[in-house]
Amino acid sequence: MVDFTNPSPASTLLAAEPSPGFSVTLRVSVPNTATATGDLVATVTASQAVLTALDVVESLGDYLTVDVSCDALGAEHMRLVASRLESLPGVEVRNVSDRTFLSHLGGKISVSARAPIAHRDDLARIYTPGVARVCEAIYRHPDDVYNLTMKRNTVAVVTDGSAVLGLGNLGAEAALPVMEGKAVLFKRFADVDAWPVCLATQDVDEIVRTVEIIAPAYGGINLEDIAAPRCFEIEQRLRASLDIPVFHDDQHGTAIAVLAALWNALALVGKRLEDARIVVSGVGAAGTAVIHLLLAAGATDIVASDRDGVLYDGKAGLIGPCQEVALRTNSRRLTGRLADIMPGADVFIGVSVGDLLGEHDVAAMAPDSIVFALANPRPEVDLRVARRHAAVVASGRSDDINQINNVLVFPGFFRGLLDARCRRVTTSMELAAARALASMVTPERRSASYIIPNVFDPNVVPAIARTVTEAARAEAV
């Protein structure tokens, strides 16, 4: 049972609508009457939660024990549902179970052996003395490590916990559930063995050196939830020093998914990437990568804004990646805040924080506008409001249509990298992956509600993996 008396910062977040991410099961005792279960259903519904199951656990004379399962808007909403149920005559809420927490109990991944050990012969081959011959073979021919060990199919998911989801700098331990989840997704969608590596340091030199030291066991490095601008230097240095691919998913996975979805959205409204006026909110890891990939794909009119306002060449205080973005964008040298650059925009891409825009901002965009409000868990603009004015709306939420999520990208991308035994990641691979992802939505299936495939589409991972492998071989990497 989860303690609801001590809400965390995340517990006050509200979803746009009831979500499985806030799923709760309440075990209640109710009088054994003809209307008892109907009263429970009516109360849950009146509380604006979505009932998902109602199970009578036992019947004891005058009372029933019932499990009421529902999706809520947030942790506070879960408490509200519980209190309203308990206010019914004769009803006692005996237990409240947050089903999200239950799914994480004991962790979400484990190690399983591929080679059985049933008797002494197996032991002699898998371990000593037989294993010594394999060690010597790898010593003589180092490339054999890919054939004789786990390296060919294993990825390290590395984080320092400095940018966990939209929650901020939570540290290594609090980042572990996300990294476990990432490992589960690698295995589920691409049969890649991934393992969380949560580092108790946020020093760039220590992170780089630690990854360099552990790299021999892995075929690739997936950097995750590392805050900007530190993430840029870490990726750059590791790509220079390692002979295996290094991929910061928050940057490049997001950028690939955005580009794929944008190609389809623009085709739907009859516009071209080369002609579109694009506004990007957020110039962190994801925003910077999105801008660079859009430019590589042919975009010519991008204006970016961060917490200090619109970026332009010559703006005081810009350094590093932000300065590079300013040099390559905003040719009209617009200034001001985000709201000032929304009028007339064809596309809005938000990779920043929630609730930045109002209805009037979306209404001021060009006809047949496109809104990608990707901040999680609260998007930059209310999605229902955005749909009143924009032709196509997408978010990063798993409980909404047009989910632009990097889970569409990284399993297939790493599958391709590992299959081709790539040494590095290139922009050509990223563009190829975006084209493959976009092609999953054919013109006859394309609509305002379907510009990017579902994460469970079985064709996505093979298509991306194949194009990444082809691009890698074409570039001889």
116 or 447: which carries more pLDDT confidence? Answer: 447
The last residue of a domain, from among 205, 222, 244: 244
Length of the chain: 477
- Can you tell me whether residue 452 is helix, strand or coil? coil
151 is catalytic: no
Residue 121 lies inside a defined structural domain of this protein: no
**Are residues 332 and 477 located together in one domain of the fold?**
yes
* pLDDT value at residue 276: 97
Residue 274 lies inside a defined structural domain of this protein: yes
**Are residues 256 and 207 located together in one domain of the fold?**
no
146 is catalytic: no
The last residue of a domain, from among 70, 104, 138: 104
- 53: containing domain: 9-104
**Are residues 78 and 176 located together in one domain of the fold?**
no
The last residue of a domain, from among 224, 244, 264: 244
**Are residues 327 and 441 located together in one domain of the fold?**
yes
Residues 6+ apart with CB under 8 A from 301: 275, 276, 277, 278, 331
Residue 110 lies inside a defined structural domain of this protein: no
Return the H-helix or E-strand segment holding 37. Answer: helix 36-46
* pLDDT value at residue 14: 52
User: Which residue shows structure tokens 């009263």?
Assistant: 39
**Are residues 325 and 471 located together in one domain of the fold?**
yes
Give one word for 266, left, alpha or beta, with left for phi > 0 and alpha for psi -120 to 50: alpha
CATH of the domain at 197: 3.40.50.10380
Both tokens of 274, joined, read 């080369």
**Are residues 435 and 456 located together in one domain of the fold?**
yes
Residue 134 lies inside a defined structural domain of this protein: no
- Segment 11-16 shows an average pLDDT of 50
pLDDT per residue as tens digits for the range 159-200: 999 999 878 899 999 999 999 999 999 999 999 999 999 999
Half-sphere exposure of 311 (CA within 13 A, CB side): 28
pLDDT per residue as tens digits for the range 316-334: 888 888 999 999 999 999 9
- Segment 58-77 shows an average pLDDT of 91
Catalytic residue among 63, 151, 182, 312: 182
Query: How many separate domains does the chain show?
Result: 3
Closest CA to 26 of 5, 51, 63: 51
Q: Specify the pairing of strand 154-159 against strand 193-198.
A: parallel
pTM score of the predicted model: 0.87
* pLDDT value at residue 475: 87
